């Protein structure tokens, strides 16, 4: 215990020294636009011969780009300048760095491993800024998180959010399955206000997760009101993205639960009552019974925007959810009941399930809920077996596996557990393709939908991860813009650059413009594409030749540099009394 105290003391002293070493006002990077140094005859970098797509949705124009002291010094003809480094980007496209509006990079940016903090899987797809602490989660105070990132160094820039679920849990403890009292809401408001004063950009909410499930719209509105004076944005993980929430099971819960329509309705109400900018994050219409709902959800957002409300969305461009593909069709309540029966260590899920299902009433409820889960995941033809002890099943859909042995999909789901890996929930690794491509394309085409990853930092070659960890932004350009024609390449670039900058209120990022920070991407339009698949997700995208943060290369000639030039960005707007806190 004495050693623990010693280590903690050393850590605190190191953090305080790190703070002292950082000049006043630079715990987060300034955002005010600044013109290039007109007196500079020599600049740090010139990108020559490329075509600039400035991020606003306008077509590309031939132009050179000069960078000096981390900012864009000039765009156009730079013949009068010399540079410490010049790069010939003839035939390539120069665009702003991509801004990932929904990122889980916070899980790696605080690591002691510099390779993780460099965020190779993210920057390799053109990402220069990540917005973290999503889905209502926040691991520590904003000031502490900010100091750690700055002390250790990070690859991309980071924007921090206050997490509603974290705040709610801190205030309510374990007694959170109810409405908060007015006093508790006031304490939450104070915590949100403190986070904003420390530099957060807004509030993230995870209303489908514990403990946000039990919050009311009034509670969320009260907290969002606290971010409005700071120009904050509210990014909301929906209460439901389909006909019902992910926690809903027909045998266990009342039928009156929120749907994806209710999610949009609540988001619009929050914007209406507070005046805040709100984002329906990773927008989707999940579940075979909810396919086609994008049309109504889009119209609801369009109607709100016509009324002057700042309602936006972000989207990862795939028709499958779930970070690691570890879908379990056996409902949680059944696994918990089975655990009460079994006593093996380690747990033997197979034997526990067999015993639990011997009770006819239990089996009836289980089959009802498994059927519901299969439908919510897109139906048996859209659930793929990725890993199972019986290798002949790998790559088969649940429907194909069931037909092969002549059973119903519900029974096949049970067999995957009872005849699969006994120590793994569900017995197999499954991935479901629960969204319809028509809905994905409809959301992607909207001018108010930003691109995002919903991904964290991956250790290359390790672990089962979603292809979005490596491919989201190039996929939007290649698959949805170039191949499918859902939107233009210019619109795809806008959805990754100036649109998220607009949502966040960034005044000097998201465009290739003089005075803006030199967060830039150079790519080959003919080659840019995502390579990550669900069978082999650890594959870097192609065609991204250079990625710069403040003029420093994170990707140089197609190779990761491991550089850590990123900064925690300051919130764009503060009440006058709080400016000194920077």
Same domain, 160 and 278: yes
Which pair of structure tokens corresponds to residue 178?
Answer: 């109810």
- Of 445, 450, 448, 460, the residue nearest 122 (C-alpha): 460
Assess if residue 111 is contained within a domain: yes
Q: What is the pLDDT of residue 578?
A: 39
Res. 41 pLDDT band, cuts 50 70 90: confident
Query: Rounded to an integer, what is the distance from CA 315 to the centroid of its chain?
Result: 9
Question: What's residue 347's pLDDT?
Answer: 82
Q: CA 325 from chain center: how many Å?
A: 16
The reply to whether 362 and 461 lie within a common domain is: no
Residues whose CB falls within 8 Å of the CB of residue 405, separated by 6 or more in sequence, listed in order: 412, 415
Question: What would the mean pLDDT of 492-514 be, rounded to a whole number?
Answer: 97
Give the per-residue pLDDT at 3: 40
**241 with 386, same domain?**
no
Position with higher pLDDT, 69 vs 342? 69
What's the pLDDT score for residue 14?
38
Residues 253 and 111 in one domain: yes
Q: What is the pLDDT of residues 225-244, one digit of tens each?
A: 999 999 999 999 999 999 99
User: Which residue shows structure tokens 């009433």?
Assistant: 361
pLDDT at 39: 58
Q: Are residues 149 and 272 in the same domain?
A: yes
Looking at the domain assignment, is residue 86 inside a domain?
Answer: no
395 and 448 in one domain? no
Q: Specify if 136 maps to a domain.
A: yes
Whether residue 87 contacts residue 555, with contact meaning beta carbons closer than 8 Å, is answered with no
- Using 50, 70 and 90 to split pLDDT, how confident is the model at 575? low
535 inside domain: yes
From the number of C-beta atoms within 10 Å of its C-beta (0-12, 13-18, 19+), residue 246 rates as: middle
Q: Which domain holds residue 238?
A: 96-321+434-560
Confidence of residue 21 (pLDDT cuts 50, 70, 90): very low
Work out whether strand 71-76 and strand 64-68 pair parallel, antiparallel, or are unpaired: antiparallel
Are 101 and 235 spatial neighbours (Cβ–Cβ below 8 Å)?
A: yes
Is residue 361 in some structural domain?
Answer: yes
CATH of the domain at 249: 3.20.20.140
With beta carbons less than 8 A apart as the criterion, state whether 451 and 471 touch: no
The 3-state DSSP class for residue 148 equals helix
432, 456, 472 - which closes a domain? 432
Contact criterion met (CB below 8 Å) for 145 and 111: no
pLDDT at 254: 86
**Contacts for 368 with CB less than 8 Å, ≥ 6 apart:** 250, 251
Residues 199/570, Cβ–Cβ less than 8 Å: yes
**How many domains is the chain built from?**
2
pLDDT of residue 241: 96
Per-residue pLDDT, averaged over 292-308, amounts to: 98
- pLDDT value at residue 122: 98
The H or E element that residue 492 is part of is: helix 489-496
- Asked if residue 21 is part of any domain, the answer here is no
37 domain residue, yes or no: no
Query: Does 536 lie in the same domain as 479?
Result: yes
Residue 86 φ/ψ, nearest 5 degrees: -120, 140
Are 381 and 405 found together in one domain?
A: yes
Which residues have a Cβ under 8 Å from the Cβ of 259 and sit 6 or more positions away? Answer: 240, 242, 243, 244, 290
The answer to whether residues 164 and 136 touch, using CB atoms and an 8 Å cutoff, is yes
* φ, ψ at 138 (rounded to 5°): -155, 120
Tokens of 218: 């009034």
- Residue 313: which region, alpha, beta or left (left: phi > 0; alpha: psi -120 to 50)? beta
Judge if the upstream peptide bond of residue 346 is cis by omega within 30 degrees of 0: yes
Distances in Å between the Cα of 229 and the Cα atoms of 44, 162, 284, 499 are 38, 15, 30, 22
Rounded CA gap, 214 and 444, in Å?
31
Question: Do 138 and 252 share a structural domain?
Answer: yes
Query: How many residues would you count in the chain?
Result: 582
Task: Specify if 283 maps to a domain.
Answer: yes
Same domain, 309 and 396: no
Q: Are residues 247 and 337 in the same domain?
A: no
- Count CA within 13 A, CB hemisphere, residue 578: 17
pLDDT, average across residues 297-305:
98
Rg (CA), the chain: 25
Q: How many CB atoms lie within 10 A of CB 404?
A: 12
Residues 304 and 350 in one domain: no
């Amino acid at each position: 215990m004495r050693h623990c105290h010693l280590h903690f003391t050393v850590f605190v002293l190191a953090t305080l020294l790190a703070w002292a070493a950082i000049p006043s006002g630079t715990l987060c990077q300034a955002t005010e636009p600044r013109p290039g140094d007109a007196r500079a005859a020599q600049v740090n970098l010139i990108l020559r011969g490329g075509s600039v797509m400035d991020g606003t949705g306008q077509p590309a124009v031939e132009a050179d780009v000069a960078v000096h002291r981390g900012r864009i010094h000039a765009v156009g003809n730079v013949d009068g300048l010399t540079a410490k480094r010049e790069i010939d980007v003839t035939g390539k496209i120069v665009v702003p760095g991509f801004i990932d509006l929904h990122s889980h990079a916070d899980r790696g940016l605080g690591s002691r491993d510099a390779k993780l903090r460099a965020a190779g899987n993210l920057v390799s797809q053109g990402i220069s800024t990540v917005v973290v602490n999503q889905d209502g989660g926040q691991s520590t105070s904003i000031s502490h998180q900010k100091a750690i990132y700055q002390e250790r160094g990070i690859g991309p820039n980071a924007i921090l959010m206050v997490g509603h679920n974290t705040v709610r849990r801190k205030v309510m403890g374990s007694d959170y399955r109810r409405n908060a009292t007015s006093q508790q809401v006031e304490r939450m408001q104070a915590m949100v206000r403190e986070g904003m004063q420390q530099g957060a950009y807004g509030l993230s909410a995870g209303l489908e997760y514990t403990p946000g499930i039990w919050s009311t719209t009034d509670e969320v509105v009260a907290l969002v009101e606290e971010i409005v004076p700071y120009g904050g944005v509210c990014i909301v993980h929906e209460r439901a993205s389909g006909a019902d929430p992910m926690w809903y099971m027909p045998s266990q819960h009342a039928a009156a639960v929120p749907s994806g329509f209710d999610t949009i309705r609540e988001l619009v109400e929050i914007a209406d009552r507070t005046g805040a900018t709100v984002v329906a994050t990773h927008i989707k219409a999940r579940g075979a019974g909810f396919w086609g709902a994008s049309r109504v959800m889009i119209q609801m957002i369009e109607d709100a925007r016509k009324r002057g409300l700042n309602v936006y969305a972000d989207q990862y461009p795939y028709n499958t959810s779930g970070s690691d593909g570890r879908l379990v069709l056996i409902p949680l309540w059944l696994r918990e009941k089975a655990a009460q029966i079994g006593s093996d260590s380690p747990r033997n899920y197979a034997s526990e399930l067999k015993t639990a299902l011997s009770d006819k009433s239990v089996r009836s409820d289980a089959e009802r809920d498994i059927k519901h889960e299969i439908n919510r995941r897109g139906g048996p033809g859209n659930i793929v077996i990725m890993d199972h002890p019986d290798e002949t099943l790998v790559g088969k859909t649940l429907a194909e596996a069931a037909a092969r042995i002549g059973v119903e999909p519900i029974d096949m789901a049970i067999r995957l557990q009872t005849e699969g890996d006994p120590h793994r929930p569900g017995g197999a690794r499954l991935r479901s393709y629960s969204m319809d491509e028509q809905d994905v394309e409809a959301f992607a085409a909207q001018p108010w939908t930003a691109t995002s990853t919903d991904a964290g930092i991956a250790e290359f070659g390790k672990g089962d991860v979603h292809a979005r960890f490596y491919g989201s932004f190039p996929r939007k350009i290649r698959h949805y813009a170039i191949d499918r024609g859902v939107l233009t390449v210019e619109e795809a670039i806008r959805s990754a650059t100036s649109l998220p900058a607009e949502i966040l209120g960034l005044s000097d990022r998201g465009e290739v413009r003089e005075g803006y920070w030199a967060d830039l991407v150079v790519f080959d339009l003919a080659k840019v594409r995502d390579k990550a698949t669900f069978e082999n997700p650890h594959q870097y995208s192609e065609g991204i030749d250079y990625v710069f943060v403040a003029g420093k290369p994170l990707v140089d000639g197609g190779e990761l540099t491991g550089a850590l030039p990123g900064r925690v960005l300051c919130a764009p707007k503060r009440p006058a009394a709080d400016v000194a806190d920077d």
